[in-house]
Amino acid sequence: MFVQWEAPEQVTRRYPVVLVHDGGGQGTDWLTTVDGRPGWADHFLAAGFPVYVVDRPGHGRSPFHPTAMGQMGAPFSYQAAQGLFLSDAGSEPHCQWSYGGQPGDHELDQLVAGMGPSPADLGYSQSLDCDRLTRLLDQLGHSLIVTHSAGAPAGWLVAEARRDLVKGVAAVEPIGPPFADFPGMGKLDWDLT
């Protein structure tokens, strides 16, 4: 797992924030938005938090290796992005994605360019994420964890494994829905309870 650290000149918050990216993304997703605005990491830094941005094993700056990770899933495509983030034809307009949704539209191109494949075995990937994040918290001490989408299970697993160190977990758009199959990636057997 790759870890990037940054802190404001004047740290005013007691606990660091650990930012965990989504499934096919990478830690740099927290640094900016697809349309060039400051990312979440900047906002936490401005609020006085030390920030740790991770690239989960096999993503971004933490290279994939089949010996350690097993099979990799299919590459992230425009069709996958459109299916995950845009409304189906005939449904009510999607008011949260205000960008163009076709290949060639700058924001969608940026999103797809930053995405990579996810490991084919979600369960193994999540246990590896938990192991690496647990090791990080063992070094950092008390921390706040912010996760996104398919990175959310890692936050919950770490909170269970290190109840004494995790001060809070904020899961932004956690992976779902429950009991769903993700072709080439596995399935979600349960939901939050």
Query: What is the set of active-site residues?
Result: 149
- Would you tell me how many other CB atoms lie within 10 Å of the CB of residue 126? 21
Kindly state the DSSP code that residue 32 receives in the 8-state scheme.
B
Q: What is the dihedral of CA 168, 171, 177, 181, to 10 degrees?
A: -90
Instruction: Give the distance from CA 121 to its chain's centroid.
Output: 16
Question: Half-sphere exposure of 131 toward its Cβ, with a 13 Å CA cutoff?
Answer: 8
Q: Alpha carbon of 122 to those of 5, 28, 66, 106, 151: distances in Å?
A: 27, 21, 14, 30, 11
Question: With contact defined as beta carbons under 8 Å apart, do 81 and 110 qualify?
Answer: no
Tokens found for residue 157: 């697993």
